[in-house]
């Protein structure tokens, strides 16, 4: 510009400013899209409101026989319909395979040995066996599980517990937990278990089988007394303890420490909300943790909680509902003394330290050594006997399985039904049958809609209406409507980034004479839970709903409402982002009368991407609908929509 006059330079600068400004009015449209429609936390509160009534209550029983009928049904339902659902028969076959390895120098008063066992074929668990120095006859056995502690079996408070058990004449097994200690790999992160769910295999099953096989190991030992079998653990180990103890009646003494609360408690105390293994798909259709506590009866139990727990499961909120559920059942057996509890005050935080351990030693004495007058519940000092990580390292096969490798193997032959008929009559019949299967898998709902106008204004040529749509009094869907003049068609835009990211797309559609509807659906934009995001997706699943199904049902409800409200032809649905591909296609497949065309921007091409990309439920919770990949991949879902109606961009 050095050869141009100052006036020419100014003129060109003004032209550049004008031509580089957004012609679509992104700023003004963006403001309309960003402005909240719902009160903060609406979706989170609605998730809780939907889930709370679905959580079952422990039945009041008048006789032991009545309770035992219920108990048998609870165990069968949880095992068959939740934990072992879809599990391949070979995972359950045969006795446990155990490989005893090197001894570890230790003592005095006990011996240590490394071992590994197969929880399921190719899925090895490392463990340490602590044996009394001298064993005569049958002796008690104890499985010690650990929680969310990266040190795993090397945690000093766990080693001290095992040493003290062995010095009291108990055979103790220190087992590793998935994603902890030696098994601490990204492929074993607990949010990866949902990859198995997608394949139609219960993702919590490896957790359960690792515990069950641990008990198998203990009870296969020559000196094991099957009448004296204990389990104890802290935090996630407390969850493991209640899970295995309630469902496997071989356990005769259970000590879960700061490990769980009822689901009803968790909906009010968010710090108690648990990860994928603690909130399995459909679990609350059959039982709650209050039921699991009652299922301990009439066996010996010590429920330990901490008064000022800085993690979760504070005693004041977690313990009372569990006791209220279990005490009447213990009364039916005339064994109320077998249900005991301990509230830790020193230090009162999240721990399995000296006070909590001595409470366990006391309970062990009462349950396993009632006639030994010289039994002491004081901890035997052993701090200088703690072993290092290297000391406790158990060699594992190089190809030891992980949660992710199990899912990779499971997906290979899926989906089971890949044939899409070519004949039009056959296709119509196939579509009708497969739509019903899809509806059931995603828990699709034909929501009725009540619409409330939140605001309406004219902004230049653009008419903007902000709506709150209520779906069956379950969900509030915020939606912004844009139009100019008399629209020719209606397009619904949705994005994983929320509606605030769609200003440019809105202008593009408006310029083509279309009415534009921009909703946020469950988990995205304004409809994201405000805290502990993915944990509320777990809550939704455990009461029988499916996140992708909720999203698809909301999109379909918007499409039907549009036809009714505006008297339009079927709408065009546009989604942006891989995470909305499933919801958009499911809506198009199950609502072809209201959705004429579907445009997928930056879309998934296969459900298998969820597994091959090693996605974690914690980050993409709507991607893991139980059993969806067993029946469909995305091409099969797309084939249920109007023929030729799906476009990918």
Torsion of CA 168, 169, 173, 174, to 10 degrees: 20
What one-character DSSP code corresponds to residue 119? E
The label of the residue with tokens 């590793």 reads: 176
pTM: 0.94
Residue 417's pLDDT is 74
Closest CA to 623 of 275, 273, 194: 194
Q: In a 3-state reduction of DSSP, which class is residue 184?
A: coil
Distance of alpha carbon 202 from alpha carbon 194, whole angstroms = 8
DSSP code string of 414-434: --S------SHHHHHHHHHHH
Of all residues in the chain, what percent carry a pLDDT higher than 70? 96
Inform me whether the pLDDT recorded for 332 exceeds 50. yes
Q: What is the pLDDT of the chain when averaged over all its residues?
A: 94
477-536 per-position pLDDT tens digit: 999 999 999 998 999 999 999 999 999 999 999 999 999 999 999 999 999 987 788 999
pLDDT band at 28 (very low <50, low <70, confident <90, very high): confident
- Note the helical H segments in 56-104: 64-78, 89-92
- Note the helical H segments in 21-169: 26-34, 42-51, 64-78, 89-92, 156-167
Strands 139-145 and 123-132: unpaired
Residue 26's pLDDT is 52
pLDDT band at 569 (very low <50, low <70, confident <90, very high): confident
Cα 574 to chain center, whole Å? Answer: 29
Segment 212-238 shows an average pLDDT of: 98
Distance of alpha carbon 143 from alpha carbon 547, whole angstroms = 36
Sorted by where each starts, the structural domains of the chain and their CATH numbers stand as: 55-97+136-385 (3.40.50.1820), 413-648 (3.40.50.1820)
Query: Are the C-beta atoms of residues 377 and 361 closer than 8 Å to each other?
Result: yes
Segment 90-106 shows an average pLDDT of: 96
The label of the residue with tokens 């619409």 reads: 451
Q: Is 397 exposed, middle or buried (0-12, 13-18, 19+ CB in 10 A)?
A: exposed
Segment 64-69 shows an average pLDDT of: 98
Inform me whether the pLDDT recorded for 138 exceeds 50. yes
Inform me whether the pLDDT recorded for 388 exceeds 90. yes
Query: Are the C-beta atoms of residues 56 and 73 closer than 8 Å to each other?
Result: no
Residue 530's pLDDT is 78
Q: Is 388 exposed, middle or buried (0-12, 13-18, 19+ CB in 10 A)?
A: exposed
Segment 392-407 shows an average pLDDT of: 97
């Amino acid at each position: 510009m050095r050869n141009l006059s100052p006036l020419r330079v100014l003129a060109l600068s003004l032209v550049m400013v004008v031509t580089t400004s957004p012609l679509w009015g992104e700023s003004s449209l963006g403001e309309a899209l960003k402005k909240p429609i719902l009160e903060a936390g609406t979706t989170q509160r609605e998730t809780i409101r939907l889930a709370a009534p679905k959580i079952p209550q422990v039945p009041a029983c008048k006789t032991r026989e009545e309770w035992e009928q219920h108990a048998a049904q609870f165990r069968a339902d949880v095992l068959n319909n939740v934990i072992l659902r879809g599990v391949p028969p070979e995972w359950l076959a045969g006795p446990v395979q155990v490989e005893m390895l090197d001894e570890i120098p230790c003592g005095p008063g006990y011996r240590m040995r490394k071992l590994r066992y197969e929880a399921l074929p190719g899925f090895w668990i490392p463990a340490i066996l602590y044996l009394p120095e001298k064993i005569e006859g049958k002796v008690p056995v104890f499985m010690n599980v650990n929680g969310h502690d990266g040190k795993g079996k090397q945690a000093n408070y766990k080693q001290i517990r095992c040493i003290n058990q062995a010095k009291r004449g108990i055979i103790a097994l220190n087992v590793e937990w998935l994603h902890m200690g030696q098994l601490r790999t990204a492929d074993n992160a607990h949010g990866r278990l949902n990859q198995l769910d997608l394949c139609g295999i219960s993702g919590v099953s490896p957790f359960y089988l690792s515990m069950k096989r641990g008990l198998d190991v203990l009870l296969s030992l020559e000196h094991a007394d099957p009448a004296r079998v204990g389990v104890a653990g802290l935090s996630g180990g407390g969850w493991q303890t209640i899970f295995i103890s309630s469902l496997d009646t071989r356990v005769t003494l259970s000590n879960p420490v700061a490990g769980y609360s009822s689901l009803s408690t968790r909906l009010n105390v968010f710090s108690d909300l648990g990860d994928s293994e603690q909130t399995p798909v459909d679990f609350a259709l059959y039982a709650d943790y209050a039921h699991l506590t009652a299922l301990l009866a009439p066996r010996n139990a010590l429920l330990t909680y901490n008064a000022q727990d800085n993690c979760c499961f504070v005693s004041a909120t977690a313990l009372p509902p569990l006791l209220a559920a279990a005490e009447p059942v213990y009364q039916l057996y005339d064994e109320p003394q077998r249900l005991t509890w301990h509230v830790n005050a020193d230090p009162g935080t999240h721990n399995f330290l000296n006070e909590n351990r001595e409470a366990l030693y006391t309970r062990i004495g009462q349950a396993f050594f009632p006639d030994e007058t010289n039994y002491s519940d004081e901890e035997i000092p052993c701090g200088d006997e703690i072993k290092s990580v290297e000391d406790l390292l158990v060699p594992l096969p190089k190809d030891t399985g992980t949660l992710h490798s199990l899912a990779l193997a499971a997906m290979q032959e899926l989906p089971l039904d890949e044939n899409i008929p070519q004949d039009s009559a056959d296709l119509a019949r196939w579509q009708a049958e497969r739509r019903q299967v899809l509806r059931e898998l995603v828990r699709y709902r034909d929501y009725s809609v009540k619409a409330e106008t939140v605001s309406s204004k004219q902004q230049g040529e653009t008419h903007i209406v902000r709506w709150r749509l209520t779906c069956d009094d379950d969900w509030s869907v915020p939606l912004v409507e844009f139009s100019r003049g008399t629209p020719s068609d209606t397009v619904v835009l949705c994005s994983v980034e929320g509606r605030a990211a769609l200003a440019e797309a809105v202008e593009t559609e408006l310029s083509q004479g279309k009415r534009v509807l921009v909703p946020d659906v469950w988990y995205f934009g304004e409809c994201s839970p405000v805290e502990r995001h993915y944990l509320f997706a777990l809550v939704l699943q455990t009461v029988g709903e499916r996140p992708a199904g909720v999203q698809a049902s909301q999109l379909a409800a918007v499409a039907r409402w549009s036809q009714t409200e505006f008297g339009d032809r079927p709408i065009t649905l546009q989604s942006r982002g891989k995470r909305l591909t499933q919801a958009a296609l499911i809506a198009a497949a199950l609502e072809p009368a209201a959705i004429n065309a579907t445009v997928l921007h930056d879309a998934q091409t296969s459900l298998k991407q969820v597994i091959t990309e090693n996605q974690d439920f914690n980050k993409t919770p709507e991607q893991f609908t139980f059993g969806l990949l067993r029946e469909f991949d995305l091409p099969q879902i797309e084939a249920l929509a109007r023929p030729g109606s799906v476009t990918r961009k």
